[in-house]
Amino acid sequence: MPFNLIKKYPQLLELASFNEYQRKNSLMGVFDRDIANNSLFKFRNKQIRPTKKEGEYPMLTLYRHLTTREDKDEKGNKLGSRSFEMARSIRMHWVKVHTEENTKHDIVVFSYEDRVKGKDVIRTYIYNKQEKYVIILEPQRSKTDYYLLTAYYLNEPGGEKQIKKKLKKKLDEVH
């Protein structure tokens, strides 16, 4: 399990042969190193923090968003639960590399005004075109820090198309 701690971008973490307990321990080691216990976890000199959810420890919420995806019924309606997703999890160590902007791949950083629960919300996207990977940050109201909402591999039908559509309508400056 500790060998995942030595994996470097663009390598993928090795999780397929693990049972659920081993997988969680391995992922938690990477998460703690790169995010939870990293006081220098920043994007463009702004601290990155986990989002807060009523009744939950913020780091647990973030960990879940980086390793699971929302469950949906056959019509695409959200069910309110989440399930483990291998494609996100094996790329968890990519978050730090991308927020530090330390990749040689074609990275596009842009802000876009999303419609979330009836409100306009500005979000900042870090989009790796070559690896088809995206990280979504939301500036805090204070504009001094970011919330890390999620990061995922664009393996869903229409996922990459949706990001490219947002990119075409991006805001003039990164927030």
Lowest mean per-residue pLDDT among 44-58, 126-140, 161-175: 44-58
Per-residue confidence (pLDDT) for residue 137, from 0 to 100: 96
Q: Look over the chain and give the mean of its residue pLDDT values, rounded to a whole number.
A: 91
**CA 112, CA 110: separation in Å to the nearest integer?**
7
Q: What is the pLDDT of residues 65-110, one digit of tens each?
A: 999 999 988 888 888 899 999 999 999 999 999 999 988 778 999 9
Strands 145-153 and 68-72: unpaired
Per-residue confidence (pLDDT) for residue 1, from 0 to 100: 53
Per-residue confidence (pLDDT) for residue 56, from 0 to 100: 64
**Which CB contacts under 8 angstroms, 24+ apart, belong to 101-109?**
101/44, 101/126, 102/9, 103/9, 103/10, 103/128, 105/10, 105/129, 105/130, 105/131, 106/130, 108/167, 109/174
Count of Cβ atoms closer than 10 Å to residue 56 Cβ: 13
Q: What is the pLDDT of residues 131-150, one digit of tens each?
A: 999 999 999 988 889 999 99
The pTM (predicted TM-score) of the whole model is: 0.92
CA atoms within 13 A on the CB side of 111: 13
